[in-house]
Chains A and B, each alone.
Chain A
Amino acid sequence: MRKLFNGLVVGLALALSAGASAHQLKSALTKMLFNQRSGNVEIMHRFYIHDAEHALKQLFKTNADLISDQDAQALFAHYVEQRFFISNQETLIPLNLVGYEIEGKFLWVYQETPIDEAITSLDIRNNALREIWTTQVNTVNIEGIGDIKTLTFDGNTESLQVTLHP
């Protein structure tokens, strides 16, 4: 069924990848840090507050003021939890939601999981906001394991793989 549906989309794919707007920057940046000091893979998502607020509006029909409303921030953090996944050999790796905070024009969402030295590659999915805006681009920088590796989630990209020990 899924495969069929994908085939259908391929046949019709027509999407306009360029933004309509000369202003809005539908993009998010995630830093995924292998922190040897803490022994954790620390995942730090940076969203534009304005994007996040509009996403909440569309997804949960709320008119929350994200800058002042902690509950709305929590709601968004929880949403991100449902859109960002890392897995190894098709097994999902559980991520702990550490918290979230507002800084300047950004909303940060933090997740972490202990570093597992046995794992040599990860499949990463970052679907945050992409079901709302086709133009959303999510960039993930993987740091702390040699040269920075960058994954970009946009268009129809579902899952990207990163090798941890080259």
Chain B
Amino acid sequence: MKLTAVRLTAAICAVTALSASAAIKQTKGDFEDKFRQLDESLPTANVYRTAGGEPGHAYWQQQVDYKIKVALDEQKRRLQASQSIAYKNNSPDSLRFLWIQLDQNKFRADSMSAMTEDFGGLGNRGPGGQKAGGSDPAKISLAALRRQHWIDDHEVGYDIQKVTDGNGNKLHYVIVGTLMRIDLAEPLKPGKSTDLNINFAFNIVEEDAVSARAGYEHFKDEGENGNDIFLLAQWFPRLAAYTDYEGWTNKEFLGRGEFTLEFGNYDVEITVPADHIVSATGALQNAKDVLTAEQRKRLKEAESAKRPVFIVTEEEALENEKEGTSKTKTWRFKADKVRDFAWASSRKFMWDAKGYKQGGKDQPLVMAMSFYPKEGGDLWKKYSTEAVVHTLEVYSRFSFDYPYPVAQSVNGPVGGMEYPMITFNGPRTELQDDGTRTYSLSEKRFLLGVVIHEIGHIYFPMVVNSDERQWTWMDEGLNSFLDGVAGREWDPTIPWGVEPRDITGYMKSSSQVPIMTQSDSVLHLGPNAYTKPAAALNILRETILGRELFDFAFKEYANRWKYKRPTPADFFRTMEEASGVDLDWFWRGWFYTTDHVDISLDRVYQLRLDTENPDIDYPRLRQEELDKPLSLTDLRNKEEGKQLWVEKNPDVRDFYDENDRWTVTNKERNKYNSYLKGLKDWERDALERAVREDKNYYVLDFSNLGGLVMPIILQLTFEDGSKEEMYIPAEIWRRNSKNVSKLIVTDKGKVLQSVLVDPHWETADVDVENNYYPRRIIPSRIETYKSSKSSSLVGRDLMQDSKAKLKSDDDKKDADKEEDKQ
């Protein structure tokens, strides 16, 4: 008896486990419901997050305030700091310990990040590889070696010197990789606060050697006196986030998945060499102590200037560069409602600023500012601060007024990275032999692109605080979409943003992973977290929802989650709820699967209405018969000149020789009349009207080869030369996601000549050839290239040509003049 009961329990457990993994399942046939609602995949709504994607009535998040005193030791390139943290527990839970992020520990040789580096990368090394080519494959590892050498020669990671509570009592702590657990003396009850003090130090990594999101850059050029630019981020022990959806977000920092952070207020005192200029998250509190009267006057002027005003001019920066100092100054910054704090310091910095008067009650004046060395040159003088202002204008339209007093762009060794109120951007000018500094068109585009992108991040994820450790796409995807919008409003001739066509190569590849993959596990981060979600949002805006619905819903999302922590479900639900359009199929296809778009138009055929009227239908049938090709036997008999029996005997004729089988008699007419009589009035009206209008009926057969259901956009070309476009919503695929047919009715004179699917390339369809009916040969890129360039390439000697000396800018100007004359 007892045994049976035990077995029963086990059986129930097994069933429960199974149902958790796949609640709804097609267990017969192969129907796939691509429109199945996402409810089973999304987390259950609760008091913290509603089913509509809003913060719930009991939404909470922790509050973590920091007071930090930090000193930069320029000689040792080392930070020494003490910080006090006020941690307010707004959760309904009691906390017995706190988790702290120690990101600098990632650089240690024994970190999980280092230990789990897979030598083979994504693929396996195939046979014969080493002999396959003539190049030197060892080169691939040189950058890795440089990094290794640097790590060998420097002590990296945190030196945690003291951990106490607010009263100075030592707290027990355990360091686990890039994390530290601090055990509290007593559980921290809901609604209560506790204070922590941590003293720490670490050696700053060399960015170019280690490739991090911050670090120093050393300038060795003549006259530099060994100057550095210091970019500091992930520089202080930060509280790991404690959330309603994951508890402690204490996932090891592996480098790819970025940061999950709490909002708080910061008060930071930064002590640096007296000739350094400091840019930081927050508003400068003691300008009188660190800036000259002249500099403060310029800063005031900048507030209402049309173009950026130099607070520190190039000449002053060059003067600072010449020699260092052993004196120090302390810069004090305060920042409210931010999720992080970063800063930059160098004596090489010039500094320009321009006020952005956005109005509104939150932050009517924002100071857009840039900090850069002479290497930034005109590129930075002309465009950095202006690009900051432009970004604020566009992003605010899509979300909310920029909520902070400053927005800064700082040049240094980091290619591009974002923090609250401050961004690091890499592009620079090149020093030419004649001493001038120039930049290429591509570098200009890159500077504009990177500044817009990184400043855009101050909205996503610095204010709309998504979980970067889990979901890179939530900030990078949304931000890449918006930086494309902002870029196109700067100058549409620059190839900005993400066109659907740019992502087809990735989406059809077999190494694609779903967008909804945790950041550290994504195989191709660029296309997966940036390009594909950005393309998806672009398609959602321009093709599926339209701008009005999309922009309203997107703005709603931004405002709902301003200063809060959204998850993917909150984004999906808000976009759907605010637009009023079911988008579950879209999220499912684009974000949860690796399907791609490939809709093929397989066949178009014409239908004809049976009028039932013999005087109309019979002649049509006769014509159809006549339109058929002649029997080959008859044809060849004719060619041979064979005389037929009926031709040889014309005197033998009867009724059937004069009347073919489509001859209409009164018998058929009587039948038609009684048919008409048998119809109800509305049936007769419908038939008569259809006969009178004599429209064309076409059936278009489509197949979905890529798997991703999408709207079918058609361009219909008619024999009279006119064109029409037609939009069939994606829902056409709901009962059959593989094959669908669409009936198209056109007016009598509108005879269909050809059909094209997705004429504007707006759906990311990977195969254009099967979009044409009748089929058209689509030449490959190489075929197109050859046909357009065939003449110019004949006789070119690439080997020799590539040795040609590169012309300088001046040469080019001269050459242009020559061309103008011709």
Is the C-beta of B256 less than 8 angstroms from some C-beta in chain A? Answer: yes
Is the C-beta of A2 less than 8 angstroms from some C-beta in chain B? Answer: yes
| Alpha-carbon distance A24/B133, docked complex (angstroms) | 29
Q: In the assembled complex, which residues on chain B have CB atoms less than 8 Å from the CB atom of A63?
A: 430, 432, 438, 440, 806
State whether A27 touches B524 (Cβ < 8 A).
Answer: yes
State whether A9 touches B530 (Cβ < 8 A).
Answer: no
State whether A29 touches B802 (Cβ < 8 A).
Answer: no
Q: In the assembled complex, which residues on chain B have CB atoms less than 8 Å from the CB atom of A97?
A: 798
State whether B139 touches A74 (Cβ < 8 A).
Answer: no
Contact-size category for A:
35 or more
Q: Which of B413-421, B580-588, B688-696 contacts A (4 or more CB under 8 A)?
A: B413-421
| Alpha-carbon distance A38/B778, docked complex (angstroms) | 12
Q: A78-B802, A101-B785, A150-B511 are in contact. Are A123 and B442 (CB under 8 A)?
A: no
Partner of A46, one of B128, B139, B442, B505: B505
State whether A161 touches B126 (Cβ < 8 A).
Answer: yes
State whether B123 touches A153 (Cβ < 8 A).
Answer: yes
Is the C-beta of B132 less than 8 angstroms from some C-beta in chain A? Answer: yes
Interface string of A129-166 (1 = CB under 8 A from B): 01111110101010000011111111111111100000
Partner of A141, one of B449, B505, B526, B777: B505
Q: Smallest distance from the beta carbon of A127 to chain B beta carbons, Å?
A: 6
Q: Smallest distance from the beta carbon of B121 to chain A beta carbons, Å?
A: 2
Is the C-beta of B143 less than 8 angstroms from some C-beta in chain A? Answer: yes
Interface string of A1-14 (1 = CB under 8 A from B): 01001000110111
Is the C-beta of A120 less than 8 angstroms from some C-beta in chain B? Answer: no
Q: A5-B138, A27-B524, A71-B804 are in contact. Are A53 and B780 (CB under 8 A)?
A: no
| Alpha-carbon distance A17/B132, docked complex (angstroms) | 25
Q: Smallest distance from the beta carbon of A87 to chain B beta carbons, Å?
A: 4
With most chain B CB atoms within 10 A of its CB, the pick from A10, A23, A57, A85 is A23
Is the C-beta of B426 less than 8 angstroms from some C-beta in chain A? Answer: yes
Partner of A125, one of B113, B133, B432: B133
Q: In the assembled complex, which residues on chain B have CB atoms less than 8 Å from the CB atom of A62?
A: 806
| Alpha-carbon distance A105/B134, docked complex (angstroms) | 30
State whether A71 touches B140 (Cβ < 8 A).
Answer: no
| Alpha-carbon distance A27/B133, docked complex (angstroms) | 21
State whether A9 touches B212 (Cβ < 8 A).
Answer: no
B 110-166 contacts with A by CB, 8 A: 113-114, 117-135, 137-145, 147-148, 151
Q: In the assembled complex, which residues on chain A have CB atoms less than 8 Å from the CB atom of B143?
A: 15, 131-134
Q: In the assembled complex, which residues on chain B have CB atoms less than 8 Å from the CB atom of A134?
A: 140, 143-144, 147, 211
Residue of B nearest to A73 (CB): B802
Q: Smallest distance from the beta carbon of A114 to chain B beta carbons, Å?
A: 13
State whether B780 touches A38 (Cβ < 8 A).
Answer: yes
| Alpha-carbon distance A67/B440, docked complex (angstroms) | 8
B 504-548 contacts with A by CB, 8 A: 505-506, 508-511, 523-527, 530-531
State whether A161 touches B140 (Cβ < 8 A).
Answer: no
Q: A2-B130, A78-B799, A123-B129 are in contact. Are A99 and B509 (CB under 8 A)?
A: no
B 711-729 contacts with A by CB, 8 A: none
Q: Smallest distance from the beta carbon of A2 to chain B beta carbons, Å?
A: 6
Is the C-beta of A118 less than 8 angstroms from some C-beta in chain B? Answer: no
State whether B416 touches A24 (Cβ < 8 A).
Answer: yes
Q: In the assembled complex, which residues on chain B have CB atoms less than 8 Å from the CB atom of A27?
A: 524, 526-527
State whether A160 touches B511 (Cβ < 8 A).
Answer: no
Q: Smallest distance from the beta carbon of B455 to chain A beta carbons, Å?
A: 11
Partner of B140, one of A10, A23, A49, A127: A127
Interface string of B272-289 (1 = CB under 8 A from A): 000000000000000000
Q: Smallest distance from the beta carbon of A131 to chain B beta carbons, Å?
A: 4
State whether A14 touches B144 (Cβ < 8 A).
Answer: yes
The 8 lowest CB-CB distance pairs between A and B, nearest first, are A159-B129, A155-B121, A23-B416, A21-B415, A18-B255, A104-B495, A25-B526, A85-B133
A–B Cβ pairs within 8 angstroms, 9 of them: A9-B144, A22-B416, A22-B454, A63-B806, A90-B132, A98-B793, A152-B122, A152-B123, A154-B122
Further pairs besides A49-B442, A53-B443: 12, Cβ < 8 Å: A9-B145, A14-B144, A15-B117, A17-B255, A22-B417, A77-B798, A92-B133, A108-B785, A148-B508, A149-B510, A155-B119, A156-B141
